[in-house]
Amino acid sequence: MTARKTESSSPLDKFGLAHHADGGPIRHARNEHAHHWVPIRDLRPRHRRRILDHLLSLNERDRYLRFGFLAPLEQLSRYVASIDFRRDEVFGIFSRRFQLLAVAHLAAMPGVHVRGSAMEFGVSVLPEGRGKGLGLRLFQHAITHARNRGASHLIIHALAENAPMLRIAAKAGATVERHGQDAEGWLKLPKDTVATHLDSSLQSWAAEAIYRVKYWTAHFSDWLRMLVSSAS
Ligand SMILES: CC(C)(COP(=O)(O)OP(=O)(O)OC[C@H]1O[C@@H](n2cnc3c(N)ncnc32)[C@H](O)[C@@H]1OP(=O)(O)O)[C@@H](O)C(=O)NCCC(=O)NCCS
């Protein structure tokens, strides 16, 4: 895949999330963003509204691919309200305009012991953020967090037609089995180590710090602009 020229004025440039003037995403060559660190924030109960807004920004087909059925507003609201943030983990990637571009839900599966203790991974990336490795990054992030929680397997349920999701799972080394229209990917996880705990703590801390600095810088600039314009 060849890289096309990035529009340097775009606010999404910094994380390689820029768009062409025609609205299509700029598909970078894989090696161009393979080593590009992306801040992934831990989402909390206070982010429920933003998670719902993110899911509502997906079109019907994407919601179908995400949940396996056409999820209407009420079902999405119930899903978001039911997320147990103590038992599960939810991660998000924000754009420079503080929009929630990608959300991943790492859910404990208490009843599933077929292959040991398992956690399930579900993800969605808004169309403008796709093809830049965010889905894969979130999957890798989930692997580390699932290991730290003592899970022995990470499981993905997707429709067999969901080529990008199955590609992400296969790239991360998951075994993918197809059963008619459905597919299940499962990845055996190594045990957690001091390094995996250190890695997730540092990642979380850095992502939170970067978000807060950007947020306050943006709001302070707005406030300064207002002050200057009201004084003149
Ligand atoms: C699935 C989804 C999360 C992928 O997000 P993303 O950020 O675009 O994913 P990435 O950029 O990390 O990787 C996608 C991979 O799929 C590949 N891909 C994309 N379209 C493809 C297609 N039609 N056929 C085969 N592979 C495809 C990409 O080339 C990339 O592989 P590469 O890294 O080897 O080039 C996103 O498409 C999405 O939100 N879809 C709707 C919701 C959904 O399906 N969720 C998953 C169910 S849990």
For every one of its 232 residues, what pLDDT tens digit does the chain have, with 9 covering 90 and above? 333 333 333 333 433 334 333 334 444 444 455 568 899 999 999 999 999 999 999 999 999 999 998 889 999 999 999 999 999 999 999 998 899 999 999 999 876 555 558 999 999 999 999 999 999 999 999 999 999 999 999 999 999 999 999 999 999 999 999 999 999 999 999 999 999 999 999 999 999 999 999 888 887 777 777 777 877 7
Which pLDDT score is estimated for 10?
37
Query: Residue 70: CB within 6 Å of ligand 1?
Result: no
User: 189: CA distance to ligand 1 center in Å?
Assistant: 22
Q: How far apart are CA 39 and CA 69, in angstroms?
A: 30
Give, for ligand 1, the residue of 167, 184, 187 to mutate: max count of ligand atoms closer than 8 Å to Cβ. 167
Among protein residues, the one whose CA lies closest to atom 12 of ligand 1: 133
Contact (Cβ atoms closer than 8 angstroms) between residue 20 and residue 69? no
Both structure tokens of 141? 């992030």
Query: Residue 124: CB within 6 Å of ligand 1?
Result: yes
Among protein residues, the one whose CA lies closest to atom 5 of ligand 1: 135
Pairing of strands 153-159, 118-125: parallel
Which pLDDT score is estimated for 158?
96
Q: How far apart are CA 118 and CA 109, in angstroms?
A: 6
Which pLDDT score is estimated for 116?
59
Query: Residue 51: CB within 6 Å of ligand 1?
Result: no
pTM for the full model?
0.83
Chain centre to alpha carbon of residue 4: 24
Which pLDDT score is estimated for 81?
97
Secondary structure percentages of the chain, helix, strand, coil, to 5: 45, 20, 35
| Cβ within 8 Å of residue 145, ≥6 positions away | 89, 91, 106, 200
Beta-strand ranges (E) seen in the chain are 41-42, 89-94, 100-109, 118-125, 153-159, 175-179, 182-188
Domains belonging to the chain, first-starting first, are 37-218 (3.40.630.30)
Give, for ligand 1, the residue of 165, 171, 181, 187 to mutate: max count of ligand atoms closer than 8 Å to Cβ. 165
Which pLDDT score is estimated for 113?
54
7 φ, ψ (degrees, to nearest 5): -80, 110
How many CB atoms sit inside 10 A of residue 204's CB?
Answer: 17
Which pLDDT score is estimated for 117?
87
